[in-house]
Amino acid sequence: MFVAVRRYSRNMSIFAAVNNGGAESALAAVIFMAIWFSYLGFFVVVGLASAVVSVLALVSLYRNRDKLRSIELAAWVAISLAISIAGPICWFLIGRRKMLDDVHAEEQGTHD
């Protein structure tokens, strides 16, 4: 099987694998391609999800920049960019909720 994979990687064609090594070589080529594309697809999906969540968090931070102190804003931007998926999710679950609670408490304090 190793010989079949080595032959396949050199020729990079299922048809060449069938011509050179027969059915076993073609099977190895198909298995190799299936594994390769499944890994590639997984990383593309994770990368796109990370980019989308990061952009959404940065847009949310930009929109709420006047409600945050500058050090908080800088910290959340750094966290969102440094920790790819977990940082923006933490902003939405922890930081944004705390900011909205603080704004709501200020509004309640001014209306009394």
Q: How far apart are CA 51 and CA 15, in angstroms?
A: 38
**How do residues 59-109 score in pLDDT, each as one tens digit?**
999 998 888 889 999 999 999 999 988 999 999 999 888 888 888 888 887
CA distances from residue 39 to 10, 25, 32 in whole angstroms, order as listed? 20, 21, 11
Task: Please report the pLDDT score of residue 14 as a whole number.
Answer: 59
Q: Which residues contact 29 (CB under 8 A, 6 or more apart)?
A: 4, 5, 8, 13, 14, 17
Find the mean pLDDT for residues 31-57: 88
Query: Higher-confidence residue: 8 or 110?
Result: 110
Question: Is 0.75 topped by the overall pTM?
Answer: no
Q: Where are the domains of the chain?
A: 2-111
Task: Please report the pLDDT score of residue 73 as a whole number.
Answer: 92
- The neighbour count for residue 84, using CB atoms within 10 Å, is 15
pLDDT interval class at 8 (50, 70, 90): very low
Task: Please report the pLDDT score of residue 109 as a whole number.
Answer: 75
| Region for 13 from its dihedrals, namely left if φ exceeds 0, alpha if ψ lies in -120 to 50, beta otherwise | beta
Given a contact cutoff of 8 angstroms between Cβ atoms, the answer to whether 50 and 84 are in contact is: yes
